[in-house]
Amino acid sequence: MAGVGGGNDFQWCFSQVKGAIDEDVAEADIISTVEFNYSGDLLATGDKGGRVVIFQREQESKNRPHSRGEYNVYSTFQSHEPEFDYLKSLEIEEKINKIRWLPQQNAAHFLLSTNDKTIKLWKISERDKRAEGYNLKDEEGRLRGDPFRITSLRVPVLMPMDLMVEASPRRIFANAHTYHINSISVNSDHETYLSADDLRINLWHLEITDRSFNIVDIKPANMEELTEVITAAECHPHQCNVFVYSSSKGTIRLCDMRAAALCDRHTKFFEEPEDPSSRSFFSEIISSISDVKFSHSGRYMMTRDYLSVKVWDLNMENRPVETYQVHEYLRSKLCSLYENDCIFDKFECCWNGSDSAIMTGSYNNFFRMFDRSTRRDVTLEASRESSKPRALLKPRKVCTGGKRKKDEISVDSLDFNKKILHTAWHPKENVIAVAATNNLYIFQDKIN
């Protein structure tokens, strides 16, 4: 069966896997976000230990025609440390909630990373020259003769050295969020970005750390009246004045910053009327939106709730234009998923470069892709078993009925501890990065 993506028929094949093979997974090593930069040459991951790892795609070389640009570690740094808020007696985890790249502005690369409270702007730059030549000592630091009898002055000279990649924190945007930050998104004006927590959205200038503007505040005067929280927010890719935010009630609000300084009144409100026949105790929980993403074109947006992915046309508010079931077979299992808290998992979703296909994760290390034009879908698995170089990924099937066909997996044998929450799609090519617990899988297309 053909894979889903780019329009051409192709199959996905394994390319690389990163991370330890041990069955024993350290909590700190669990990947918590994955993000390609604008060119796709760099891929960043953040983990629960507060680290950011950046992979760089190797130039394709003629000697090894089969290695189509593998991603290798470019830089690793500790972005956030665990902290303690003494005023509130709260531990602040170091876990990286989101990473967002900035459009490239000079030879260096910049990204924003955030944990629950603090957003940091990092610069990743290269250095290939080193100064040499001191007046008073040699390169090892030993003093030269009598320092008071210098006959001539030496100016340091820059000499080539092995490439060194440095990550340096450039700005720290702190103290603006009372609740946990769930989203950051860089605006298309390249000078501002927004950050969202459970109840508020703030707008920052990238160069100013001591103030931000609160543009959305849904905190009720009395917290007992709280009925919904903000779950995700994103800026429009082209219109600098437009952003959306999703809520735990399954609705999305689109705001226009031109209209007013405070965006507490939305411009558009996207909501699909509930089907009364399928209402249950879990309806509200599973309708909560865990991720919202604009298409690259800016015409559509996609939302992920517990069981489905929906594509909305920004011009139509009353229902999504496309709805894809991610793992409908779990509907009968909601009760046990509630008991083991899985029902609150926040799955993310992403578009391919041409907006023709979408991808999102599921359980048992399965992830799903949907082709928007052919409506074909496929379930693939990120697993060590198929991790031989250029091995084709076999589509997986989950059976719900009594008779299990060959190659099918019964719903009851799915492993709910292996979940794929974070995935990323290269902005131009069919290369995807899939985070499976502590491993990062990279898959590529194989054109027939």
Which residue ranges make up the site for another protein (CB under 8 A)? 103-108, 110, 123, 125, 127, 129, 131, 134-137, 146-158, 166, 188-191, 207, 238-241, 257-261
Q: How, if at all, do strands 322-325 and 349-351 pair?
A: unpaired
DSSP string, 198-246: SSEEEEEETT--S--EEEEE---SSGGG----EEEEEE-SS-TTEEEEE
Looking at beta carbons only, is 28 or 259 nearer to another protein? 259
Looking at beta carbons only, is 188 or 308 nearer to another protein? 188
Is the four-CA dihedral 336, 437, 369, 410 of positive or negative sign?
A: negative
Tell me how long the chain is. Answer: 448
Q: How far is the CB of 241 from another protein (least distance, A)?
A: 6
Looking at beta carbons only, is 123 or 180 nearer to another protein? 123
Cα three-residue angle 77-294-38, rounded to 5 degrees: 40
CA distance 227 to 195: 21
Looking at beta carbons only, is 238 or 388 nearer to another protein? 238
Q: How far is the CB of 369 from another protein (least distance, A)?
A: 31
Looking at beta carbons only, is 28 or 143 nearer to another protein? 143
- Token pair listed for 409: 């997996």
DSSP string, 401-426: SSSPPTTEEEGGG--TTSB--EEEE-
Q: How far is the CB of 155 from another protein (least distance, A)?
A: 4
Q: How far is the CB of 8 from another protein (least distance, A)?
A: 29
Q: How, if at all, do strands 397-399 and 408-410 pair?
A: parallel
Q: How far is the CB of 205 from another protein (least distance, A)?
A: 10
CA distance 271 to 254: 11
Q: How far is the CB of 311 from another protein (least distance, A)?
A: 25
Looking at beta carbons only, is 242 or 350 nearer to another protein? 242
Q: How far is the CB of 152 from another protein (least distance, A)?
A: 7
Looking at beta carbons only, is 191 or 415 nearer to another protein? 191
Residue 85 forms beta bridges with which residues? 90
Helix (H) or strand (E) holding 185: strand 183-186
Q: How far is CA 51 from the centre of its chain?
A: 14
